[in-house]
Amino acid sequence: MQRSVPGLRAADTACRSDPQAVVLVVCVELCTLHLHVRNDPDTIMGNALFADGAAATVITARDTEVSESEPVLELLDFETTLAPVGEDELAWSVGDEGFEMILGTYVPRIIDDHVTDALAPLLARTGHDVAEIPLWAVHPGGRSILDKVQSRLALTDEQMEPSRAVLADAGNMSSATILFVLDRLRTSDRAGVTAALAFGPGLSIESALLRVAPDQGRA
């Protein structure tokens, strides 16, 4: 889960090392292969939330000709943190019948408790404040997760709209989902600094700072 943000980070590093590099980041998730029929609350929750999905993006530092009708995202900075709790609440394990998803009911609470601290290093390093960031791309792991992040960071309904819309339209497609949210922001009328949040096993919190740039010829 959430390999897309580390993938963007690796691609960004490659492009900064070689200004002529062009990197394709692809995320393909076939979550339905791992669905199990059990009378278990965590299994039922996972089956209800997860869906198949695929997304791809091209990362480059080259100067490219991009029209104003084809906005791009500029990658600014990344951060990875690990919550001190949650190892048993969000995980993939290999069972006798394939991969088994563990999505505990405490995951939203853990994210609520630690999302502010997880963002702190990234914001401090880039000189930004939560209240000053206009656009947000939050991984829609479920409605409760989005509710907790919105409440904790005091985000508006408009700022949460891209994440909630992707959850409603496509569900949680694991690592590909955040790329769907970013694309929704990219193709909207919005522009400006964007904070992205994604959550994975461990419990790991991936954060990134980007800029939606309608007339910027770089991705």
Distance set, CA 110 to CA 79, 146, 149, 162, 200 (Å): 18, 13, 11, 23, 12
Note whether residue 21 is domain-resident.
yes
CATH number, position 122: 3.40.47.10
In a domain, 126, yes or no: yes
pLDDT for res 5? 94
Say whether 152 sits in a helix, a strand or coil. helix
As given in the structure block, the two tokens for residue 117 are 């601290």
Question: Residue 219: inside a domain, yes or no?
Answer: no
Assess if residue 65 is contained within a domain. Answer: yes
User: Could you tell me if residue 186 is inside a domain?
Assistant: yes
Between CA 127 and CA 198 the distance in angstroms is 21
Mean pLDDT of successive 10-residue stretches along the chain, which has 219 residues: 85 95 94 75 72 94 66 93 73 66 73 95 96 96 94 98 96 93 91 93 90 59
Alpha-carbon torsion (158, 163, 167, 170), positive or negative: positive
According to the model, what pLDDT value does residue 131 have?
95
Residue 164: the pLDDT is: 98
Domain of 180 in residue numbering reads as: 4-213
Domain assignment present for residue 218? The answer is: no
Task: Name the DSSP class of 218.
Answer: -
Q: 208 lies in a domain?
A: yes
Total number of domains in the chain:
1
